[in-house]
């Protein structure tokens, strides 16, 4: 039952298909805007040449259609709030209208057939597979109608190809040779887009599975750490409330016996005195072990008290001046977060004592509106902060793991004036810290 939380896998409220569709829509919206800009910039000089009849003489209706198409595309260019599907549909419709006008004015020998080949590909890229195949059907229909009109003799003017009965058959062959490569391109592009969607779906599913596995692993690690700390807390409580109390009772009895023997001037009083000294040492050691197993009290300000105790113990045992600097009491309402932060400070102080050859150590605990910052600084020779360091390397990795468990980050950097600073920054929402 202790590890039941390890089996909970985070659930997502959105599907891979919706995420892919959203990404594609965002890209197509940008692509539509880019195509509109290209058409607006490139189309302006072409429009001026067409309207002025400098290189090509167009009837008034053709010039009017070209001007109208350009005005429509220019208006759509600046309609950014309009859905991109509407803008792309208007763009393709205007281009088809321009191609139809070119066919009507110049016949099959003009430039209108080029657009009929390009527009389906553009539609598939901007609007998707269905729109691309609809555009292909429209292009094929316009090509067939134009060839039919050529058979009827309505497109006989302006042709640079031999006339007569050969002309309709020629344009029929030309239409088929244009549509067949286009059909091949459309099929290949369709398969490519389907494969791309499949790859994107598989990639997102794999990534989501990996994220879930990482989240599950972190939950298991946090649960294992919690169970371990609970067990240590229980052992510390048993030592404090059980063994220490029994040793204290034995000490009182021993003291009473020593006093009685001393009052009778018996030599056994010295032996009892030695036993009393041993019991006093055992009681002190038991209290130290119980505090080491359960260093942080469950009250919100237990972390500050534990860090003050750590500073005093370090100065007493190692002979290195160590002090806690904190602007007021910092209340940490999450006991697990408080315990992990204490372990980080404990490991950082131990590394400074063992490896830094420092003259002083400072522990700084500060709470802001955004984060809780624990900083341990020494004035020693500095340490190698790389993960593969042989000096404090495992300790650094354990500290980084504890910080990551709390959703924070651990950094080791040179301190101002020399030495090393170990800094752990935890988001305030993860540990519920407040400054008083």
Q: What is the pLDDT of residues 261-284, one digit of tens each?
A: 888 888 887 888 888 888 888 888
pLDDT, the chain, mean: 78
pLDDT value at 160 more than 60: no
**209 or 386, higher pLDDT:** 209
* Residue 98 pLDDT: 85
CB distance 254 to 279 below 8 Å: yes
**386 or 356, higher pLDDT:** 356
**137 or 270, higher pLDDT:** 137
Whole-number percent of the chain with pLDDT over 90: 6
Compute the distance between CA of residue 113 and CA of residue 182 in angstroms, rounded to an integer: 12
* Residue 391 pLDDT: 44
Residue 103, CA distances (Å) to 40, 109, 114, 175 in order: 22, 8, 10, 13
Across residues 227-240, what is the average pLDDT? 74
* Residue 161 pLDDT: 44
pLDDT value at 7 more than 70: no
pLDDT value at 4 more than 70: no
Compute the distance between CA of residue 367 and CA of residue 374 in angstroms, rounded to an integer: 9
For the chain, domain boundaries: 16-212, 224-292, 300-435
CATH of the domain spanning 300-435: 3.30.565.10
Across residues 122-134, what is the average pLDDT? 90
Compute the distance between CA of residue 120 and CA of residue 111 in angstroms, rounded to an integer: 16
Q: Which of 101-105, 115-119, 132-136 has the lowest mean pLDDT?
A: 101-105
Compute the distance between CA of residue 349 and CA of residue 6 in angstroms, rounded to an integer: 32
% helix / strand / coil in the chain, to the nearest 5? 70, 10, 20
CB burial readout 26-38, b (16+ within 10 A) else e: eebbeebbebbee
**156 or 417, higher pLDDT:** 417
CB burial readout 113-129, b (16+ within 10 A) else e: bebbbebbbbbbbbbbe
Going by pLDDT thresholds of 50, 70 and 90, the confidence category of residue 325 is confident
Tokens 């887009």 belong to 193
What is the pTM assigned to this prediction?
0.51
**336 or 136, higher pLDDT:** 136
- What values do phi and psi take at 131, rounded to 5? -65, -35
């Amino acid at each position: 039952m202790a590890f039941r939380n390890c089996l909970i896998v985070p659930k997502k409220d959105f599907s891979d298909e919706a995420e892919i569709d959203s990404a594609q829509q965002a890209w197509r919206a940008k692509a539509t805007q880019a195509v509109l800009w290209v058409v607006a910039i490139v189309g302006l000089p072409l429009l001026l040449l067409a309207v002025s009849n400098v290189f090509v003489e167009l009837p008034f209706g053709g010039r009017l259609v070209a001007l109208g198409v350009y005005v429509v595309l220019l208006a759509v260019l600046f309609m950014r709030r309009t859905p991109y599907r509407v803008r792309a549909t208007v763009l393709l419709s205007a281009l088809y209208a321009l191609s139809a006008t070119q066919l009507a004015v110049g016949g099959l020998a003009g430039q209108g057939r080029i657009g009929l080949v390009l527009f389906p590909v553009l539609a598939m890229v901007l609007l998707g597979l269905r729109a691309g195949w609809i555009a292909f059907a429209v292009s094929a229909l316009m090509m067939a109608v134009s060839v039919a009109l050529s058979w009827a003799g309505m497109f006989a003017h302006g042709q640079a190809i031999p006339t007569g009965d050969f002309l309709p058959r020629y344009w029929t062959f030309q239409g088929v040779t244009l549509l067949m490569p286009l059909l091949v391109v459309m099929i290949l592009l369709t398969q490519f887009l389907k494969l791309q969607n499949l790859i994107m779906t598989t990639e997102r599913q794999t990534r989501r599975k990996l994220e879930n596995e990482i989240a599950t692993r972190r939950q298991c690690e946090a649960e294992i750490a919690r169970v371990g700390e609970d067990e240590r807390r229980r052992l510390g409580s048993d030592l404090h409330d059980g063994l220490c109390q029994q040793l204290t009772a034995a000490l009182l009895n021993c003291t009473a016996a020593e006093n009685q023997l001393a009052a009778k001037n018996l030599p056994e009083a010295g032996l009892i005195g030695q036993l009393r000294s041993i019991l006093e040492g055992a009681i002190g050691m038991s209290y130290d072990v119980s505090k080491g197993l359960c260093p942080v009290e469950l009250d919100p300000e237990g972390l500050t008290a534990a860090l003050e105790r750590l500073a005093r113990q370090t100065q007493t045992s190692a002979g290195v001046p160590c002090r806690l600097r904190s602007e007021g009491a910092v209340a940490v309402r999450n006991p697990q977060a408080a315990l992990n932060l204490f372990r980080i400070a404990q490991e950082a102080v131990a590394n400074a004592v063992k490896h830094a050859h420092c003259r002083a150590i400072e522990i700084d605990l500060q709470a802001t509106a955004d984060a809780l910052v624990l900083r341990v600084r020494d004035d020693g020779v500095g340490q190698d902060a790389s993960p593969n360091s042989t000096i404090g390397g495992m300790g650094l990795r354990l500290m980084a793991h504890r910080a990551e468990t709390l959703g924070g980050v651990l950094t080791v950097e040179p301190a101002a004036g020399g030495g090393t600073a170990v800094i752990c920054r935890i988001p305030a929402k993860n540990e519920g810290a407040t400054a008083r």
